[in-house]
Amino acid sequence: MRTTSIFQTFFLNNSATSAEALVVRPPKNLRVFRCTITLTNEDPTQVSLCRIANVSDANFLSSVFLSTGYSSNTSTNLPPGTDTTTGVTNSSNSSIVLDRRGVGYMEDTFYIWEENRNGTVISFIWEGEVL
């Protein structure tokens, strides 16, 4: 078994109020078992905010909120559960790790919305077995 990592970086130029989300899928040449998603900003003095969901609507209740600054929302640092009626899952930091080792491979489609349109950059590190 050979493993590798693929790095992808995207400049977010959309909005949470826009129907258009950035759509990101795992690379087809990997069986991805772990993905690290990191939020940064071109200007380190600016705060970046984004929402990540696995559904194509802009529903706050089915998304993970990432921020490079302080979030006044309750932070759980957990992906959203199957019950999307209880509230948004917030992260007080700017990254999240999705790990599927031992349980399968990632086939997720991620929909990403920027909350403030001020130079937000999102990076994905895909780790997996080479096909």
Domain limits, the chain: 3-130
Average pLDDT over residues 68-79: 55
Question: How does pLDDT run across 34-59, given as a tens digit for each residue?
Answer: 999 999 988 878 888 888 888 887 56
In this predicted structure, what is the pLDDT of residue 121?
92
Residue 30, pLDDT > 90, answer yes
Return the percentage of the chain with pLDDT > 90, whole number. Answer: 39
Main-chain phi, psi angles of 24, to 5 degrees: -130, 135
Which neighbouring-strand residues pair with 75? 90
3-state secondary structure the chain: CCEEEEEEEEECCCCCCCCCCEEECCCCCEEEEEEEEEEEECCCCCCCEEEEECCCCCCHHHEEEEECCCCCCCECCCCCCCCCCCCCEECCCCEEEEECCCCCCCCCCEEEEECCCCCEEEEEEEEEEEC
Q: CA 54, CA 89: separation in Å to the nearest integer?
A: 13
Spatial contact of 41 and 120, defined as CB atoms under 8 Å apart: yes
Q: 3-130 domain in CATH 1.10.3470?
A: no
Per-residue pLDDT, averaged over 106-119, amounts to 86
The confidence score (pLDDT) of residue 18 equals 67
Is the model's pLDDT at 77 over the cut of 70?
no
Q: Which carries the bigger pLDDT value, residue 20 or residue 79? A: 20
Alpha carbon 68 to its chain's center? 13
Q: Which residues contact 101 (CB under 8 A, 6 or more apart)?
A: 33, 34
